[in-house]
Structure 1
Amino acid sequence: MAVWAVTRTYPNYDSYYHLVWGREILDGTLPSLTAYAAPTQHPLYIAVAAVLGLVFGESGDRALVLVCFLAHAALVLGTYRLGAAVFGRWSGALAALFVAASASFLLYAARGYVDPPFLALVVWAGVLAAEDRRGAPVLLVLAGLLRPEAWVLTGLWWLWRRRPRELPIVFIAPALWCLTDWIVTGNPIHSVQSTSALAEDLGRVRGLQHVPGSFVTFIGSTVRPPVALLAPVGAYLAWRFIGWRRVLVPGALLVGGIVTFVGTGVLGLSILPRYLTVPAIAMCLFAGYALLGFTEAEGRVRALWVRASAGAAVAGAIGLVILAPSLTNVREEMRFIRATHDSLVALFAQPEVQAGMRCGTLTFPTYRLVPDAKWHQQDARIGARSAQRRDRGVEVFALGQKALRRYGFADGTNPTVNLPNPAFERAASGGFLVAYVRCP
């Protein structure tokens, strides 16, 4: 709560689209899942966004970020509970610290990504499973309506239980996802096909051949190299001293996450760091055991383990030094996102811009700011010049190197979209955004 209140941030591109889709449902229309460069829809996230839009109105964007910060806190606590249940409380506490210190996980929360709620549900499902309590499949089904990785985890859960009457649970989330696609677009596998097509259009890294190198790079950037290196050590020690049955839950998170990451390469989807968040959590758990598992050991093994952990802690301290620039980057990113939001709101407040939108379409160089604008200007016609240029209305341009690089260019986009149409005249500016208007 405190971080959310002090650090004013706003959702990312995908999340703003979910807010827009949620509002469209409230208005009695089907969500525009087939819009130009629209992201993959996540059924439960659309429902959450609709509720937040209904309760908080235009401030639903800030409310969504708050939900993600709360989910991040639940994720950290759940990591501790899972680690404590499997490896002991000290190992669980260190694993939770690794998760809390990850700049990537913090940024996902600050930008309203779907990942924090998804990860919180997955980890707490793991807690219930590790503590042999009911409710794990319910949480996995909910997680499966946020990200498809949970489908594999639900399947692994069923294989562990091996109860035929519970088999339908495995198919609930995929069926509801396909049903949503079918109702809205007429194509039950729209999400898979559109995600693959968008990845190709934008020139993103795809293909099975990129999976191994991306795995090493992404894991190292998410949990930092010292944690990634300690994880296999912790996995071996856990197998050696507490047995493979006791580590089934973190092992399932690791294996299930890796399987789905490989699956993205097989299906030709974009290979992104966010697709490795589940195995990253598992690595934090195993790394915590590698360093502090000696608290559960005895005798000579404990003495040797203490010495080895002390040496590894020195390497961990070096990792903290490496982490500092990442946290600085997160702060800089948050400042830039605030500036983007303020620039957009200031631009919309200009009478010349409002007049231009009444007689034409508001366009940006690329698709990147389209959902943000749609959220704040519900009734306006809004698009991207990378899709189609208009002969009247408002053309918005980004000023400054970082803003131009972020919002003026995108893979597969012609750079000329950043050149004003001679028929338009400069009319207004807000922050690092400037508007040209033609309203004959």
Structure 2
Amino acid sequence: MSRRRELAAAAGLTLAAVLWWVLVPTYPAYDAYWHLVWGRELLDGMSPSFEVYAAPTQHPLYVAVAAVLGVVGEFADRLLVLAGLLSLVALVCGVWRLARDLFGVWPAALAALFVGSSFAFLLYAVRAYVDVPFLALVAWAAASEVRGHRWRPMVLLALAGLLRPEAWVLAGLLWLWRAFGPGGVRIASGDSARNAHTPRELVVLAGMVVLAPVLWLLSDLLVTGDPLHSLTSTSELAEALGRDRGIAKAPRLFVVYVFDVARAPVALAGVIGAVLAVRRYGWKAMAVPLALVLTGAVTFFGAGIAGLSLLPRYLTVPAVGLAVFAGYAVAGFTTLAADDRWLPAWRRGAIVAGVVGVAFFAWKLPSFGTLSGELRFVNDTHGDLVRLLDDPEVRQARGCGPITFPTYRLVPDTRWVLDVGEDQVTTRAIAEPDRGVAIFVDRSEKKPRQRYGEADGVPRATNREVPEGFVEIAAEGPFVAYGRC
């Protein structure tokens, strides 16, 4: 595909993402709203409230991005969603470039399709999770490394390392590859050594490897006084909320989550494609996509050892690597010569894989309806919450005390909408209020109740027992507000 056609395709995907953002309004997820709150606190000259109850792990670069977007005011939450959708476009384009340079046009087209059509990646993008911009940086770093760029891969991984720590491992592996892999250190001049690094350049690259973790530790130290706050608080929160954690659960969850994020046919095709690609090209030529798969596995099991939550989002990097190999497994026959003895069998296998893929897609088609329903739910409940907070009776009762929720899940959304501090919005999971506004979630509406009225580690009574002296003052959608002055 020509450069012009690539640019046209990227422009088309960008336009589609913008149209989706305009026509299908949605809002950030819990973690993303906290980053918006922290970014606003930075703009206000305040220290970010990383240590509030049930706060997620902070990601330094995402806090900075949220602060920049926060300049426009309350609309920044919608802009963060747009950034997520554009990051998905960048991810798809990065996967295309990586797979094209490795295997050619048709395997690359399938790899990009596998990533772009992933329900998990779509959901992460439209809810502004940090994972999608992180993956976009990783994909372009991988593509740049395959293309032989000297500095760009490490710069991109340094940025990615300020979004997720998996990039630290990738950057370390890249440094080892540059230092001890094919080419090694350049100790002589001449064309044969022109792509290798001098010892001085390796020192600079090593500095770039440690830059992201050092900045992360420094941000934790400056804000909380504990350089390991992100690690310790994440582990403690996982334990308090009863999430899956621990090395004993890691093997089973690894398989389940990879199949969930990448989808079973793509994951299986990815394994087959990795074997085929290594046999044909050798492991050195496949080092970059293999690193994506293996590094993701190592960090997932490392999270289990560290006692962190074991979430599907932690396996997005290997899912991308498997998508690249899956493209080769299905369409790799297009790279064979016409007289290659493997061509007929591979072509037949590709036809079978295509039939299985279409059948699986048809079976999973309701998932996109689920995505649509999820976006409508988020949009509707967000609107209900905003209207409830704007009710005159609620505004009046706010002057008497804090707003409290049954769980922590709507705390950052409300702080963002009202632009207030942590003492003005909290959860009854911490303490029962004696004044202010107590918001409940209608228990007869199952999805809102499960999403906002209940949470692991939080007593169910917080959404059942109205504090003494509070009376109903307003209701909107599934939310009911009680007030007392």
Task: Return the TM-score normalized by structure 2.
Answer: 0.89
1:434 and 2:480 correspond: yes
Whether the 8 Å CA contact 1:224–1:319 is kept in 2: the answer is: no
Q: 1:104 aligns with which of 116, 120, 127?
A: 120
1:321 and 2:366 correspond: no
Aligned to 1:8: 25
Cα-to-partner distance string for 1:31-52 (whole Å, 9 max, x where unaligned):
0000011100000000000000
Task: Measure the CA separation in 2 of the matches of 1:172 and 1:133.
Answer: 20
Task: Measure the CA separation in 1 of the matches of 2:420 and 2:111.
Answer: 47
1:341 and 2:382 correspond: yes
Q: 2:467 aligns with which of 421, 429, 438?
A: 421
Whether the 8 Å CA contact 2:440–2:453 is kept in 1: the answer is: yes
Cα-to-partner distance string for 1:301-340 (whole Å, 9 max, x where unaligned):
1222101111111111121123212212111111110012
Whether the 8 Å CA contact 2:234–2:308 is kept in 1: the answer is: yes
1:150 and 2:196 correspond: no
Q: 1:391 aligns with which of 415, 424, 434?
A: 434
1:301 and 2:350 correspond: no
Q: Shift of residue 422 of structure 1?
A: 3.8
Whether the 8 Å CA contact 2:441–2:453 is kept in 1: the answer is: yes
SS in 2 for 1:300: coil
Whether the 8 Å CA contact 1:224–1:323 is kept in 2: the answer is: no
Task: Measure the CA separation in 1 of the matches of 2:279 and 2:336.
Answer: 12
Q: Shift of residue 268 of structure 1?
A: 0.2
Task: Measure the CA separation in 1 of the matches of 2:447 and 2:352.
Answer: 41
Q: Which residues in structure 2 correspond to 1:24-63 (within 5 Å)?
A: 24-54=41-71, 56-63=72-79
1:260 and 2:303 correspond: no
Q: 1:375 aligns with which of 392, 407, 416?
A: 416
Q: Shift of residue 184 of structure 1?
A: 0.2
Whether the 8 Å CA contact 2:440–2:480 is kept in 1: the answer is: yes
Q: 1:213 aligns with which of 238, 249, 252?
A: 252
Aligned to 1:403: 448
Rg larger in 1 or in 2? 2
Task: Measure the CA separation in 1 of the matches of 2:319 and 2:253.
Answer: 13
Q: Shift of residue 379 of structure 1?
A: 2.8
Q: Shift of residue 387 of structure 1?
A: 1.1
1:195 and 2:231 correspond: no
Q: Runs of 5+ in structure 1 lacking a partner?
A: none
Q: Runs of 5+ in structure 2 lacking a partner?
A: 1-17, 180-196
Task: Measure the CA separation in 1 of the matches of 2:395 and 2:289.
Answer: 54
Aligned to 2:325: 286
Q: Shift of residue 346 of structure 1?
A: 0.6
SS in 2 for 1:187: coil
Q: Shift of residue 396 of structure 1?
A: 0.4
Q: 2:111 aligns with which of 64, 79, 95?
A: 95
Task: Measure the CA separation in 2 of the matches of 1:273 and 1:226.
Answer: 17
SS in 1 for 2:409: coil
Say how many residue pairs are matched: 438
Deviates more, 1:237-246 or 1:24-33: 237-246
Deviates more, 1:421-430 or 1:362-371: 421-430
Task: Return the TM-score normalized by structure 1.
Answer: 0.98
Q: Shift of residue 427 of structure 1?
A: 0.3
Q: Shift of residue 101 of structure 1?
A: 0.8
* Structure 1 moving runs of 4+ over 2 Å: none
Amino acid at match of 1:327: F
SS in 2 for 1:363: strand
Task: Measure the CA separation in 2 of the matches of 1:375 and 1:67.
Answer: 18
Deviates more, 1:7-16 or 1:295-304: 295-304
Task: Measure the CA separation in 2 of the matches of 1:428 and 1:213.
Answer: 46
Task: Measure the CA separation in 2 of the matches of 1:230 and 1:302.
Answer: 18
Q: Shift of residue 275 of structure 1?
A: 0.0
Cα-to-partner distance string for 1:194-221 (whole Å, 9 max, x where unaligned):
0000000000000001111111111111
Task: Measure the CA separation in 2 of the matches of 1:265 and 1:12.
Answer: 24
Q: 2:97 aligns with which of 78, 81, 84?
A: 81
Q: Which residues in structure 2 correspond to 1:123-272 (within 5 Å)?
A: 123-134=139-150, 135-162=152-179, 164-165=202-203, 166-272=205-311
Task: Measure the CA separation in 2 of the matches of 1:349 and 1:251.
Answer: 52
Whether the 8 Å CA contact 1:346–1:431 is kept in 2: the answer is: no
Task: Measure the CA separation in 1 of the matches of 2:166 and 2:118.
Answer: 21
Deviates more, 1:217-226 or 1:90-99: 217-226
Task: Measure the CA separation in 2 of the matches of 1:414 and 1:382.
Answer: 19
Amino acid at match of 2:420: D
Cα RMSD of the aligned pairs, angstroms, is 0.9
Task: Measure the CA separation in 2 of the matches of 1:414 and 1:255.
Answer: 40
Deviates more, 1:281-290 or 1:397-406: 397-406
Whether the 8 Å CA contact 1:360–1:393 is kept in 2: the answer is: yes
